[in-house]
Amino acid sequence: MEMYVMLIILAYLIGSIPSGLIVGKQFYQIDIREHGSGNLGGTNAFRVLGKKPGLIVTLADILKGTLAASLPLIFNQPEISGLVIGIAAVVGHMFPIFAKFKGGKAVATSGGMILGVSPFIFVVILATFFVSLYLSKYVSLSSIITCIVAVITASVMRDTGLVILTLILTIFIVYRHTANIKRIKNGTEPKITWL
C-alpha cells in the first residue's frame, strides 16, 4: 500500500512538470499562460511559440504520461497497475502543483500514458488524431474524437481495465474542452494552419 501511494504521488509530480512553461520561459522569455488560450499544453505552445517548441512541449507531455505508467515496472512492482499510476500523471498535468494548479488539457499526457500500457491503442489513436486534424483543422475536436476511438478500440480488445481507463480519460478531456465545444458550435474556434 505504501508503494502504491508513493508511486501515485511520484506520478502526480511527474505530470505536474510544466513543459510549456519551462520551454516558453527558458528559451523564449514568454509565459504562455499569458497568451493564446492560457493553457500550458502543446496546442497553446504551438500557437504561441511556434512549430518546433510546440512539438518539444507535446513530446515532453507525452513522455510524462509514458514514464508515469511505467513506474511500477521501473520500481519492480508488476502487481501495481500502470493504469492507475498513469491517471495520477494526467491529473498532475491538468492541475500541476508547480504551476499554481493551472495546467493543460491532458491530451498528450493521456496519450503517453496509453503508450505506456498499450502501444497498439496508442498507434490507433495517433493515426485517428492526425486524420481527424487533417480533415477538421480543429485540435479540440480531434482530441475528443480520438478519445472516443480509444474507448471503442479498448472495447474491441475486450480489455476491461483499458475500457475503464479510456472512458475516464474521455470524461476528463471532454470536460476540459467544454469551452472549445461551445466555440466550435459558434464558429469561433481557431483552426490550425500548419496541416
Tens-place pLDDT, residues 171-190: 989 998 999 999 999 999 98
List CB contacts of 83: < 8 A, sequence separation 6 or more.
Answer: 69, 113, 117, 161, 162, 164, 165
Q: What integer best gives the mean pLDDT of the chain?
A: 94
Domain extents in the chain? 2-186
Would you place residue 80 in the very low, low, confident or very high pLDDT band (cuts 50, 70, 90)? very high
List CB contacts of 55: < 8 A, sequence separation 6 or more.
Answer: 42, 46
Report whether 140 contacts 44 (CB < 8 A).
Answer: no
Write down the pLDDT at residue 156: 95
